Amino acid sequence: MPLPPAGAAIFQGAARILSGLLEARTGQILSEGRAWRMETALRPVLRAHGLQDIDDLAAMLLRKRDPRLDEDVVNALLNNESSFFRDLQIFDMIHRQILPRVQEHRQDRTLRIWSAGCSTGQEAYSLAIRLRNDTARWQGWRIEILATDISTAAIEQARAGIFSQMDVQRGLAVGDLIKWFEPHGEDWRASPDLRRMIDFRHDNLFDPRAPSGEYDLLLCRNVLLYFTPERRGDVLRLLARHSHAGSVLLLGAGETVIGQGDDFQSHPEFRGGYARKALTPDCAGGPMRRTA
Amino acid sequence: MKNCLVVDDSKVIRKVARHILESLDLTVSEAVDGQDALTKCEACPPDVVLLDWNMPIMSGMEFLQALSTAKMAARPKIIFCTTENGISHIKAAVEAGADEYVMKPFDRETLESKLAIVGVI
């Protein structure tokens, strides 16, 4: 059997160090499908830090001299792919079915939404746009949208609300582009009104400190697929802690709660949505109880 | 199967658009300018028109104006597809009756999302 080239063997070693860093920092595993593009994703990091190749990078990480390097590597390896109104039918269901149901039950006229693993913010902005386009319905309501992601770079971009031409073309209707965005050089920027609606935070889904309170709608789409089954269970437990009996959880099209713990079950009304399993009398406070 | 009329004086753009649209299960026909498109729309109205802005004989804007007075059983959805990306151009296209707006270059995901927004797929 021919031996692999020396460089290939060394690269495998470097790849192990890099994927180990990603897992330690984020809980995400680097699947084969993502590993092949590791070198391309890390090219800007190599340039910025004056490093020759992946082996140099791994060696520098092991020396632990530059904490900024760790963060840059993690940001580069995370998949920040996102688009406005991704899976349009989900947004239609949210606004035609799920939110009207929340509105019927919520007596304190407060709507709380959490976009967990929000990447560069398109999901949260899509929700904000739909809510703002329906101001009459939400008159007198307090609306809180929390959007969190592990990537500091993604959160910075989301907070700035600046998107490329290609970004705004994917899923954003031209009417919403004109209404809610303004030209920003070659790019487009979300209006201050829209940006003010969303609280973007850098956050780790395994950090027990964050966030606080319970949410009526939780979106954690295309996030679980990057975790091991054990970690998926941890994330769902965290989401359950921030849900109440009337909350709705939405996952990505290829994701499920089945086999990932006992906290959620298929929602009886909303196709593809999940509801908290019945709470024990001690911890259930009614359909719209709130803790924060 | 829904029909899309691709209107562009560039053979390359028509070819690229056809390739993407056929992969989305649409039947595709082509027109080389606004006049050609108008004739084809009157003869057999498509479900959606992918419309270039700058074309010889009749531009995209002139086509939109002519389409508004044309006798047709059903008005097709119009997706403007152009290199003009200034906000004034976008607003002008929408005011003239375009349902959506795509800036070149475009990819499959972009076209797919716009077709979903106008309800064709």
The residues spanned by each domain of chain B are 3-117
In this prediction, residue A16 has a pLDDT band, given cuts at 50, 70 and 90, of confident
Residues A44 and A103 reside in one and the same domain? no
Helix axes A38-48, A54-63, angle to 10 degrees: 60
Work out the average pLDDT over A249-265.
92
> What is d(CA A85, CA A62) in angstroms, rounded to the nearest whole number?
41
The residue among B79, B110, B111 with the most chain A CBs within 10 A of its CB, best to mutate, is: B110
**Predicted pLDDT at A210:** 65
Cβ atoms within 10 Å of A290's Cβ, excluding its own: 15
Determine contact: B101 vs chain A, CB below 8 A. yes
- Across the interface, which of B90, B106, B113 has its CB nearest the CB of A178? B90
- Higher-scoring residue by pLDDT: A44, A79: A44
Cβ atoms within 10 Å of A231's Cβ, excluding its own: 19
DSSP string, A72-139: HHHHHHS-----TTSSHHHHHHIIIIIHHHHHHH-TT-EEEEEEET-TTSHHHHHHHHHHHTTTTTTT
Q: Is residue A291 part of a domain?
A: no
Residues ≥6 apart with Cβ < 8 Å to A6: none
Q: Is the peptide bond before A67 cis (omega within 30 degrees of 0)?
A: no
Q: Is residue A18 part of a domain?
A: yes
Determine contact: B72 vs chain A, CB below 8 A. no
- Higher-scoring residue by pLDDT: A67, A218: A218
Q: In what order do the strands lie in the sheet with A142-149?
A: A198-202, A142-149, A110-116, A215-220, A243-251, A273-276, A264-266
**Predicted pLDDT at A233:** 93
CA distance between the termini of chain B: 10
> What is d(CA B71, CA B39) in angstroms, rounded to the nearest whole number?
11
Determine contact: B103 vs chain A, CB below 8 A. yes
Count contacts between A and B (CB, < 8 Å).
40
> What is d(CA A72, CA A67) in angstroms, rounded to the nearest whole number?
9
Determine contact: B109 vs chain A, CB below 8 A. yes
Cβ atoms within 10 Å of A89's Cβ, excluding its own: 11
Nearest to A206 by CA among A26, A42, A81, A9: A26
CA dihedral A31, A87, A161, A176 (to 10 degrees): 160
Domain B3-117, CATH number (from 3.40.50.920, 3.40.50.2300, 3.40.640.10, 3.40.50.720): 3.40.50.2300
Residues A101 and A241 reside in one and the same domain? yes
Instruction: Assess whether pLDDT exceeds 50 at residue A2.
Output: no
Among the three residues A37, A56, A77, which one is the final residue of a domain in this structure? A77
Work out the average pLDDT over B35-46.
96
Tell me the average pLDDT of chain B.
Answer: 95
Residues A99 and A57 reside in one and the same domain? no
Instruction: Assess whether pLDDT exceeds 80 at residue A67.
Output: yes
Cβ contact (<8 Å) for B86 and A174? no
**Predicted pLDDT at A30:** 82
**Predicted pLDDT at B55:** 96
Residues A152 and A228 reside in one and the same domain? yes
What CATH number should be reported for the domain holding residue A215?
3.40.50.150
Host domain of residue A183? 88-276
- Higher-scoring residue by pLDDT: A33, B120: B120
Residues A132 and A169 reside in one and the same domain? yes
Instruction: Assess whether pLDDT exceeds 80 at residue A5.
Output: no
What is chain A's length? 292
The two structure tokens encoding residue B9: 């004086």
| Total domains, chain A | 2
Instruction: Reduce the DSSP state of residue A200 to 3 states and report it.
Output: strand
**Predicted pLDDT at B71:** 85
Residues A56 and A95 reside in one and the same domain? no
Determine contact: B110 vs chain A, CB below 8 A. yes
Instruction: Assess whether pLDDT exceeds 60 at residue A287.
Output: no
ipTM: 0.93
Instruction: Assess whether pLDDT exceeds 80 at residue A8.
Output: no
The two structure tokens encoding residue A232: 């998926």
Nearest CA in chain A to B98: A174
**Predicted pLDDT at A279:** 63
Q: pLDDT tens digit string along A191-224?
A: 999 999 999 999 988 876 667 899 999 999 999 9
Q: Is residue A83 part of a domain?
A: no
Instruction: Assess whether pLDDT exceeds 50 at residue A229.
Output: yes
Residues A142 and A191 reside in one and the same domain? yes
- Higher-scoring residue by pLDDT: A284, A112: A112
Restricting to A residues 15-74, those with a Cβ less than 8 Å away from any Cβ of B are: none
Residues A108 and A145 reside in one and the same domain? yes
> What is d(CA A118, CA A221) in angstroms, rounded to the nearest whole number?
9
Instruction: Assess whether pLDDT exceeds 90 at residue A34.
Output: no
Tell me the average pLDDT of chain A.
Answer: 88
**Predicted pLDDT at A12:** 72
Instruction: Assess whether pLDDT exceeds 60 at residue A289.
Output: no
**Predicted pLDDT at A37:** 79
Cβ contact (<8 Å) for B113 and A177? no
Contacts of B91 in chain A (CB under 8 A): 178
**Predicted pLDDT at A292:** 36
Q: For chain B, what percent of residues have pLDDT higher than 70?
A: 100
